[in-house]
Amino acid sequence: MEAVAIGFVALFILLFLQVPIAFGMAIVGTIGFGHIIGYGPALKSIGNTATDMVMVYDFSVLPLFILMGNFVARSGISHDLYETSHAWLGHRRGGLAMATIVACGGFSAVCGSSLATVATMSKVALPPMLKFGYDERLATGSIAAGGTLGILIPPSVALVFYGIMTETDIGQLFAAGVIPGVLGIVLYAGAVAVITRINPEMGPPGERIPWKARIRSLRGIWGMVLLFLIVMGGIYGGVFTPTEAAGIGAFGAFVIALLRRRLTVRITLDALADTGRTTAMLLALLIGSLLFANFINVARVPNEIADWFASIQVSPLTVVVICIAIYIVLGCILESISMMLLTVPVFYPVMQSLGVDLVWFGIVVVVVIEISLITPPIGLNVFVLKSMLPDIALTKIFRGVLPFIAADIVRIALIVLIPGLSLFLPRLME
Amino acid sequence: MLDRMVRRLDRTLGLVLAALMFAMMLLTFVDVVGRQLFNAPVLGGNELTRIAMGLLVYIGLPLVCLRREHITIGLLSGLIRGRMLRVQHVILNLLFAGVTFIWARQVWIQGEAVERSNSVLMFLQVSTAPYIYVMSVLTFGAAFIYLILAWCYLQGATPKSGEEAG
């Protein structure tokens, strides 16, 4: 236990000195493992982990879904998504902000990255909101918050990682993410409604669009909707494995982007190489995290924590709440995927021994991590947004995000208290 | 001179990476369609994907180093300035070079172990050892990149990242 405590301190010192998280975890994990078991096996496990854990068929789900997102992001679909939700919601008070959130949700249904969602939607949704006299706080807050939906609504990179680390079925995790994701959209839209009810000036209503035009606006997005239905329906119906679905999704997104005449050779090569680099970076993180997990496991930390919880006889729910609190604190300093890779190896054996459903816990973890994307001081989404809008003060964006954080707290409470929200769909799959 | 080399390396590796990624996408797509519609999956498709995954990650690795895209914590990045920042860069890049060098060496040793075991993939009937050697060489490449970066910082230059140079 002391070795692990020293390990964690050493890790954080390395991280603060700007050592990449993958390297930090690999260094501390290898030295810690070597200290307990011996340096020969520790070095050998580097070679093992760095080859065997990379050349795994199921991992190709990662680059394929990322590629799907990259093609989607370059296909210009975000405009159409926004147009459509604008046509349906724009006449309400705060309607454009709601449209932004729905468009973000739709975008993240075909793209697994929060940052990509924020970067894309800020270009599409911000100018019209400001043009219609929306308050900057509401406008930026809704984009930053809407972007967090990307990490949960399948396909989700975070859920893939969680599935790999805990050996939980990725298809089940994806199915479990659907309802909490939709709940997120509803609660965020609710937050907009509350804000504009209190202060109507923040989001004046727009013109009402006739039904005919609303229906016509669906034309631009049916391709993506179909793709999402094929990919998720295929996984859900047991027709495809997640990896196969990712292959179909990536190829489908490629064809759609091609048909929309958005792909030049250069853009295609960019999307492909981008995907390759992101994959390399993520798997380097995964290798580091597995080496770190080796160390944690031989030090028997999860067992000791589980024993301790058993000895003080707290309910599993209390333990989950403690985990959530830890995530919220860690979320202030760590980036989302790294936070997950660092903590899940410690938490999941504990949860397993307490009889907690790992699919449900996965959703809880991802939603809490989502919150960290918009909370100060690091909220990554806020920084992405800020980098694209140099004229708007950071504090203004953080203030704009506050009501959405409140909505997130409501959501996490609902998900924790009503496991059925996450587990209903995966149970149907069995 | 150095910037040009960085640019060329970034572009070449990027092209290979893109080609490999495209091949992987097509392979998976053809495999699924073949299996679902014609009951005829690509023989050894699974094993091809495994090899492609390994190569994809390790071709991406030097690129990620070149572009400094590894995820770090940005919290204290503004605290160290001037001369100390240079010292920090030199030390860190030397450390990264050391880490990637050990990594590369262990992957090579792993390749030797696989070669000795004479095991071959079931459908393709080939050993994965040669691919593991390639992965190791690419990692040695990444270690070399870090050494050069350390040397640049030592000279007081701020080397451009692959993206800036490209």
Instruction: With beta carbons under 8 A apart, name residues in chain B contacting A18.
Output: 72-73, 76-77, 88, 92
CA angle B160, B163, B166 (to 5 degrees): 90
pLDDT single digits (tens) A115-149: 778 888 888 888 888 888 899 999 999 998 998 88
The more confidently predicted of residues A416 and A125 is A416
Q: What's the whole-number average pLDDT of chain A?
A: 87
The more confidently predicted of residues A134 and A110 is A134
Q: Which of A295-304, A371-380, B137-146 has the lowest mean pLDDT?
A: A371-380
Residues 6+ apart with CB under 8 A from A50: A287, B103, B106, B107, B110, B135
The more confidently predicted of residues A316 and B70 is A316
Given this model, what pLDDT does residue A35 score?
93
Average pLDDT over residues A32-52: 92
Question: Which among A407, A409, A380, A405 is positioned nearest to A394, based on CA atoms?
Answer: A380
Distance CA(A407)–CA(A99), nearest Å, equals 17
Query: Nearest C-alpha of chain B: how many angstroms from A207?
Result: 43
Q: Tell me whether residues B29 and A283 touch, CB distance under 8 A.
A: no
Given this model, what pLDDT does residue B76 score?
58
Given this model, what pLDDT does residue B38 score?
87
Q: Which of residues 227-286 of A touch B (CB under 8 A)?
A: 239-240, 243-244, 246-248, 250-251, 254, 268-269, 272-273, 275-277, 279-281, 283-285
- Taking only the tens of pLDDT, chain B with its 166 residues reads 777 888 888 899 999 999 999 999 999 999 988 988 888 888 888 899 999 999 999 999 999 888 877 777 655 556 667 778 888 889 999 999 999 999 999 999 999 999 998 888 888 888 889 999 999 999 999 999 999 889 888 887 776 666 655 4
Band of pLDDT at residue A108, cut at 50, 70 and 90: confident
On the question of pLDDT at A260 being above 50, the answer is: yes
Select the residue of B25, B29, B92 nearest A19 (Cβ to Cβ). Answer: B92
Select the residue of A27, A254, A333 nearest B75 (Cβ to Cβ). Answer: A333
Confidence (pTM): 0.88
Q: Which of A154-163, A269-278, B73-82 has the lowest mean pLDDT?
A: B73-82
Given this model, what pLDDT does residue A190 score?
94
Q: Are A369 and A340 in contact (CB under 8 A)?
A: yes
The more confidently predicted of residues A389 and A411 is A411
Band of pLDDT at residue A186, cut at 50, 70 and 90: very high
On the question of pLDDT at A218 being above 80, the answer is: yes
Q: Tell me whether residues B22 and A338 touch, CB distance under 8 A.
A: no
Helices B45-66 and A265-298: angle between axes, nearest 10 degrees: 90
Given this model, what pLDDT does residue A122 score?
84
Q: Which of residues 325-354 of A touch B (CB under 8 A)?
A: 333-335, 337-338
Given this model, what pLDDT does residue B166 score?
44
Helices A358-372 and A316-330: angle between axes, nearest 10 degrees: 30
Distance CA(A210)–CA(A228), nearest Å, equals 27
On the question of pLDDT at A237 being above 90, the answer is: no
Instruction: With beta carbons under 8 A apart, name residues in chain A contacting B131.
Output: 55
